[in-house]
Structure 1
Amino acid sequence: MGKRKLVIGVVTGAHGVRGLVRVKSFTADPADLTAYGPLTDASGSKTFDLTVKGDVKGQILAAIAGCADRNAAEALRGTELYLDRDLLPETEEEGEFYHADLIGLDAVGPEGQAMGTVRAIYDFGSGDMLEIVDGEGRAELYAFTSDVVPDVDLEAGRLTIVPPASVEDEEGDA
């Protein structure tokens, strides 16, 4: 298997007339966009040498080598910036994971029964939610908490989900 690439930013547009671009960074600290190594396109064939120049409205302002005017900067709008996964540091805390390491893991229930695959991770404001898709394409969301997801085994490529009791289940027991 080749190196896995992660999208860590996207060019959202030009800034000014001298070729600066606005970049939405997907790193925990937006200023770390250039901290881990060279950024490339999805194929890895084109490298982007970025120099952070500042920030504006929650986005990074950057100069890209070879991008000298507004037209060149506008042409890069929508360009996703990738990094080799191996260049990211290991997570420091137990129970801390990169989203990209979780996507694609098999999800199993408490008895080991197949539940599906992690397709995406969302944060709607109250914490991360895992989207699990079963073999028939049905999706369910589960809170990414230690109660609902007590075990993540990256080596084995799976995580365990203990679905919380639904309101209907609780009413049926009363």
Structure 2
Amino acid sequence: MARRPGGNTPHGDGGRRARPGRIGSDAATSAHRPKAEADPALPETDPSLVRMGEFGRAHGLNGEVRLKSYTGDPQAIAGYGALIGADGRRVELTDVRQAGGSAPDLLVVRVKGVADRTGAEALNRLALYLPRERLGNVADEDEFFTADLVGLSVVDTGGAVLGTVADVPNYGGGDLLEIKPALGGATALLPFTKAFVPELDIPNGRIVVDPPEDLFAPAGPRPPDEPV
């Protein structure tokens, strides 16, 4: 669950949040809900589907594969039962653990029916979805699904287009918007707070931000350590 707190810092109580689905105690019971049947005709842009994660490269030789999870509790992605691949296949996660030394949303998983590296490599870059109806309604007007934010246009308070939302990561210190600049170049991270993101206009496909002047400035050289 990616949350947009209130106040002037990346951390605070209340505010808006983006989530791919219910997590925590509800995730444990959601696995017992009816499973959705995969439909090969389902496009990746189907609004009835919520993006839950995406496979990365194979891990080892025995069928394990890396997975970036978009659930607030990353490992809760395994609690929703069968997921739907972007190609329509049915995907069941049978074992999930955090990838050592990595961001908390990067996992190593096993997939039912995949037992070797070749099968794991075939999953690379495959996005996983879940029918929106199986996630329930968002809790309040300040809560959103992550999938509803990714791809939105980002404009400043003057209306100038800055770029698009590429991701909504959380590295343990609060939720962030990863913004891909309209003019090209490296993405930039902006705290997902009301101070930096005063307006979300999802129906019209845009997010209004009040960014620092150096949002897309390249990181400068690290200053030398001071003598002890």
Q: TM-score range by the shorter chain?
A: 0.5 to 0.7
Answering whether residue 119 of structure 2 is matched by residue 76 of structure 1, we say yes
Percent identity at matched positions?
28
| Matching residue of 1:6 | 51
Shift, 1:146, TM fit: 0.8
Q: What's the TM-score, normalizing by structure 1?
A: 0.64
Distance in 2 (CA, whole Å) between partners of 1:158 and 1:61 is 34
**Which of 140-149 and 27-36 deviates more?**
27-36
Q: How many residues align?
A: 155
Query: TM-score scaled to structure 2, two decimals?
Result: 0.51
Q: Which amino acid is 1:91 matched to?
A: V
Contact 1:152 1:159 (C-alpha < 8 Å) held by counterparts: yes
Structure index of larger Rg: 1
1:92 aligns with 2:139: yes
State the shift of 1:35 in Å. Answer: 4.2
Q: How does 1:11-160 map to 2 (within 5 A)?
A: 13=59, 24=67, 26=69, 27-30=71-74, 32-36=76-80, 38-44=82-88, 46-50=89-93, 52=94, 56=97, 64=112, 66-67=113-114, 72-78=115-121, 79=123, 80=126, 82-84=128-130, 86=132, 87-138=134-185, 139-160=187-208
- CA distance 1:116–1:30, change in 2 (3 Å): closer
> How far apart, in 2, do the equivalents of 1:57 and 1:134 lie?
30
**Is the Cα–Cα contact under 8 Å of residues 103 and 118 in structure 1 kept in the other structure?**
yes
Structure 1 residue runs of 5 or longer lacking an equivalent are 167-174
Gap runs ≥5 in structure 2: 1-42, 100-106, 215-228
- Hey, what's the Cα distance between the residues in 1 that align with 2:68 and 2:178? 23
Which has the higher relative contact order, 1 or 2, with Cα contacts under 8 A spaced 6 or more apart? 2
Task: Give the strand-richer structure, 1 or 2.
Answer: 1
**Deviation readout 1:23-60 (Å, 9 max, x if unpaired):** 7461334554344453233211x22244x46x556767
